[in-house]
Structure 1
Amino acid sequence: LCNFMARIPDKIRSIDGSKETLKLTVRITNLWFVGTPNKYEQAEMVFVDSEGDQIHAICKSDHLKSWKADLKDNCTYVMHNFKVVKNDGQFRVCKHEYKLFFIGVTVVREADLHELPFKEFRFVEFANVVAGNCVWPVGWRVQSQFVLSF
């Protein structure tokens, strides 16, 4: 095995804010950019691990230049070292209690990890939507006749 695979990866489920020297093997299932390109822009993404657990990760503009070309939707990575913060904002991308921020010592290596799941869709019957019998993911709400996703 490669040197960067020597340490056993942490699971997203185990992230509890007690350490920042995490080693994660993840797939980026959602990646989007917020702000003005080439001025103030940050990358926001959702990571999923081998257990299907998800966590929100953010790469702010001061670190984005280092990683923008390497971060791609549906690609798999081995990543180390993040700032771990409470996920207690008004609009939460994932239900995980914490979210991750890239920092100066974050390491990102693309890796061929086919066992990591892709984005999971949770379909519901339209009649249940109309009747209000759905449990919506965090950050979703129903307005009038439309389902809005953030």
Structure 2
Amino acid sequence: MARIHDKIWSIDGSKETLKLAVRITDLWFVGTPNKSEQAEMVFVDYEGDQIHAICKSDHLKSWKADLKENCTYVMHNFKVVKNDGQFRVCEHEYKLFFIGVTVVREADLHELPFKEFRFVEFANVVAGNFVSGLLVGGLSACFIEKYQGCF
């Protein structure tokens, strides 16, 4: 019997043998192409939950041609680490890193949602009720924090 897909909301750092059915809603490359480049992605699952994933340069050669924005995949085995950097692209407490045993298989999972924007009421931004350091469409909450007096 096939193993059930893990849900993104259930990722808590306790296991790395995850099996995820995801859509890559955002994909970008950081660094110098073909040298020190890494891929960064946002995955979304059936429930619309999101998580940040990173494929560092040492594994990118294996996956670069296969990873495409808006395509759907079944993926296994990641390194799970705290998402506690200065800037974050998802609210999820953890992020995923591709490792040597990560498996990526493109799959026809058209039921998976596409990118969903989650807007916060402007009054909450002015009141400071937002996640500091969360990048939102390229506009960081840190930017908002710095210029809050301008609103």
Q: TM-score, normalised by structure 1?
A: 0.84
Q: 2:45 matched to which residue of 1?
A: 49
Q: In 1, distance between residues paired with 2:128 and 2:116? A: 17
**Does residue 111 of structure 2 align to residue 82 of structure 1?**
no
Q: 1:9 matched to which residue of 2?
A: 5
Q: 2:93 matched to which residue of 1?
A: 97
55, 59, 62: which one aligns with 1:59: 55
**Other structure's SS at 2:111 match:** coil
**Does residue 110 of structure 2 align to residue 114 of structure 1?**
yes
What is the aligned-residue identity percentage? 82
**After the TM superposition, which residues 108-147 of structure 1 pair with which residues of structure 2 at under 5 Å, given as runs?**
108-123=104-119, 128=122, 132=126, 135-136=129-130, 138-139=134-135, 140-141=140-141, 142=144, 144=147
Q: 2:25 matched to which residue of 1?
A: 29
Write out per-residue CA displacement over residues 50-83 of structure 1, whole angstroms, 9 at most, x where no aligned residue: 0110000000000000000000000000000000
Q: In 2, distance between residues paired with 1:133 and 1:110? A: 43
Change (3 A) 1:24 1:134: same
Change (3 A) 1:84 1:124: closer
Shift of 1:122: 3.2
Q: When the two structures are aligned, how many residues end up with a matched partner? A: 138
Give the gaps of 5 or more residues in structure 1: 146-150
Counterpart of 1:132, as a letter, is V
Compute the RMSD of aligned alpha carbons.
2.0
